[in-house]
Homo-oligomer: A and B are copies of this chain.
Amino acid sequence: MQITRAAEYGVLGLTALARRPLGEVVMIDTLCAEEDIPRSFLGKILQSLNRAGIVRSARGSGGGFCLAKEPSEISALEIIEAIEGPISLQRCLDEDLGCEHSTGCALCSLLAVAQDRVKDVFRTTSLSDLTGRHIPNGLVRQARDRHRESESTPPVEAADTVTSTWTIN
């Protein structure tokens, strides 16, 4: 009943991309450093997102990844399903072969409803909804390190001034 780490990392990695101007190409290493994600794992995940048309990749020197569309055009559902495959709360809801338990199964009906609710939440949340309020620890640490390194440089805007609360209508 849990989202996988791959999906978690995927969403987080994309917020890092979405924090930049659309089209800016960023290397995996940069994204990993910002979001504290194992590098080779994020590589794999970005491959899936590339195949799904959510990011675009560029090889060779100067290469990396950028978003393929506006963050507001990318739903959390797209992202998660690109990584984990279709969301399904139960094997019987997987759209291929029915279950052995019963023809008009009450359990399946219940789980189908729950599954729809989840997908609704994910579908109606875009990447841009996720980007604003999220300040990854990786970035915070980088800012701190920069500050400690040269006392002359003023610190970046404090992370804890962000106070927005979550609402989904």
Q: A29 at interface (Cβ–Cβ under 8 A)?
A: no
> In the complex, are the beta carbons of A110 and B76 less than 8 A apart?
yes
Q: A87 at interface (Cβ–Cβ under 8 A)?
A: yes
> In the complex, are the beta carbons of A136 and B3 less than 8 A apart?
no
Interface residues in A, total, Cβ within 8 A = 52
Which residues 109-132 of A sit at the B interface, judged by CB distance below 8 A? 109-114, 117-118, 120-122, 125, 129-132
Residue-wise interface mask of A (12-31) relative to B, using a CB-CB cutoff of 8 A (1 in contact, 0 not):
10010000000000000000
Q: Name A residues whose Cβ lies closer than 8 Å to a Cβ of B.
A: 1-4, 8, 11-12, 15, 35-36, 76, 84, 87-91, 100-107, 109-114, 117-118, 120-122, 125, 129-137, 159-160, 162, 164, 166, 168
